[in-house]
Chain A
Amino acid sequence: MPLATVRTRVEAAAPDLHGTGSRATRILGAACLVGMATLLMLAFWLTNPDERVDEETNIVTGQFDAVRLLYVHFPVAIVTYTAFLVTAAGCIMVLWKNSTWWDNTAAASAEVGVLFCGLTLVTGSIWGRPIWNTWWEWGDVRLMTTTILFLIFVGYLAYRRTMTDPQIRAKRSAVVGLIGAINIPIVYKSVEWWENRTLHQQSTLAELKVEDLTLFAMIFGMTVFLMIYVWLMVHRFRIGWLEHQAETAGLAVAIAERRAQAPDDIRNAVTDTRSSLPDSGVDT
């Protein structure tokens, strides 16, 4: 659909709209910015590097400064799984209730989820370099699971792009998304059995020298990134919703145009008595 047509239909559907922002999102956005600034301050300045001194040998071990990246990596991973959970829920609702609202939510959440999944992989890789001495570790359960999760939902988004009919797209991508989501715990278990040991911190919080500030920073980080997720979701959802409205708003017009084709056609039909070869099936 040409952009000019989309614009006129969107304007017809929502005349007072000048973007997908609203008072609520502007407040939320400001809060996110403040929160991010605070988080970065916490992560890179106020908290201490992870140093643990072995009491007997006096050797200092730990993640040192690398732990600072965890204040971003861990929340980003949480948001990733949250986003894909929302997509999975949306897929179920589409198949069950045939809901456009949920289809839009599923797609929006998948996009945001893929973004955060990429961030998870990147921050995890950067964190892992000094800790594991490698950018990529094949044996690690969570790394493998997150990578396959990334591929599955990139595939989901690519698949959605191949279909233009909204009903068909909703139903079929719901099947793909749901199977993909169900597969994730399976992948997790399989890889876990595959490598009995894992380099990933089994319980990051427990092993760190947990000071009050560290714990606070972690939870604060989760909150900030969840707020960012919501902010992104609201905007992406609204864009998708407007697209949907632009598509359906045109229906009555299209029907009228279609019916108006008739008078010329009837004239032509009466004079056309020649037989025709069968079409390839495209003839409507």
Chain B
Amino acid sequence: MDPIMREIWAVARKDLLIEARSKVVATQVLPFALVILILFGLALDADRSTLRSFTPGLFWVATLFAGILAIQRSVSVETSSAAFEALRLSGAPGWKLFAGKALAVALQLLAIEAVLGLGVVVLYRASFADPVLVVTAALAATVAIASAGSLYGVLAVGMGVRDTILPMLLLPVLAPVLVAATRAFDDGLGTTAVNGWSWCALLAFFAVIYGTVGALAYAVVIEDA
């Protein structure tokens, strides 16, 4: 593996290994996401066709909430071992640390989304009119969420900062991602006639923006983590 990727992959691999051993995301965050789907189903008390048309929005709201938890977990892995200091001492550049952490969060989120996808098929009777669009949109949106989340996750730790501020900071910023992802899914799941691919392009734009901003700001922010 080339040297640039090696450090990024070392960080991501470490996070995924920790998850494989502790199974926090699999046993706590994933069921939480499913519970959200079920609760929406109960609360909305809607007939089948209405629930089906709500699917894109509900899917992405559930994903965002689960994402917050996954990001908090990603950060607490470091803070519980006082590892941010060691990461700074290691001399690895901030952008590589960011890329590794965000990659691990993204992979975990994709796993959650896969299960949620199954969930909406079963619970809301959704169907995949355009699977390629759905998968592409999900990939782009996930990169955007993982990038923005990894940066804001570190902003939400440090002396005096409580991580309860994370949702308040992150979710308004991710609002356009929610809008775009929902619209792309509207097309991909066949619930509304819109041009999903142009929304997908917007998602890719967000992914690039948040990836870049995160990479640039990470080194500055972990100095005080």
- Chain A residues with a Cβ under 8 A of chain B: 95, 148, 151-152, 154-155, 158-159, 162-165, 168, 171-172, 175-176, 179-180, 182-183, 186-187, 190-191, 193-194, 281
Contact = CB atoms under 8 A, between A and B. Distances in A.
Given A158-B168, A175-B155, 9 more contacts: A151-B168, A155-B169, A159-B155, A159-B165, A162-B161, A163-B161, A168-B159, A183-B176, A187-B176
Contacts of A151: 168, 172
Contacts of B122: none
Contact of A168 (B165, B172, B175, B224): B224
A164 B155 contact: no
B82 interface: yes
A163 B159 CA distance: 7
Interface in B19-48: none
Interface string B109-152: 00000000000000000000000000000000000000000011
B165 A172 contact: no
Name the prevailing secondary structure of the A interface residues: helix
Contact of A164 (B160, B169, B172, B220): B160
A162 B163 CA distance: 10
Contact of B183 (A154, A162, A179, A194): A194
A163 B221 contact: no
A148 to B, nearest CB: 5
B18 interface: no
Nearest to A95: B220
A190 B206 CA distance: 11
Given A165-B159, A281-B82, A148 B172 contact: yes
A95 B151 CA distance: 16
Interface centre among A151, A168, A186 (most CB of B within 10 A): A186
A168 B155 CA distance: 11
B102 interface: no
A162 B202 contact: no
Contacts of B220: 95, 171, 175
Interface in B170-220: 172-173, 175-176, 179-180, 183, 198-199, 202, 206, 209, 213, 217, 220
